[in-house]
Amino acid sequence: MALEKTFAMIKPDALEKGIIGEICKRIEEANLKIVGMKMHKLDRPRVEGFYAVHKTKPFFPQLVAFMTSGPSVALALEGENAIATWREVMGATDPEKAAEGTIRRDFGTNVERNAVHGSDAPETAALELKYFFDQNEIVQYEWM
């Protein structure tokens, strides 16, 4: 297995709940390393650009409003099968359908306010990481 990088975001609802530490703990417990981290308050153009793939969907205006409502935390994660591992730790998009013990099941309210985001494929991860991080902002971690 090769090391892989992925993008994660802790959304405004999770920051409101004060669970950044709990989410980071779960990331580390899943043998993923946090190799980049930024807290920011995204503006409308930044959110619209990031979620451009959803621009024609009916929920887009609510998504933009939610993601600009407060600060969020962008994360670069690294580990064996990082994309699949992070998606498993997050759980299904809908907290009611997420498995017990996942972040979204434990802390999500609904499909929109579901605490975290994660890349779904290597190509998406590469694009999302570049959207939020300059190359020098991601640490080259020394493994064992």
Catalytic residue numbers read 117
What region does 58 belong to: left with phi over 0, alpha with psi -120 to 50, or beta? alpha
3-state class (DSSP) for residue 72? strand
137 by DSSP, 3-state: which? Answer: helix
Q: What is the largest CA-CA distance in the chain?
A: 47
**Residue 80 near residue 45 (C-beta atoms within 8 A):** no
Positive or negative, the Cα torsion across 20, 15, 41, 78? positive
Given a contact cutoff of 8 angstroms between Cβ atoms, the answer to whether 133 and 38 are in contact is yes
Q: Report the half-sphere exposure of 123 (CA within 13 A, side-chain side).
A: 0
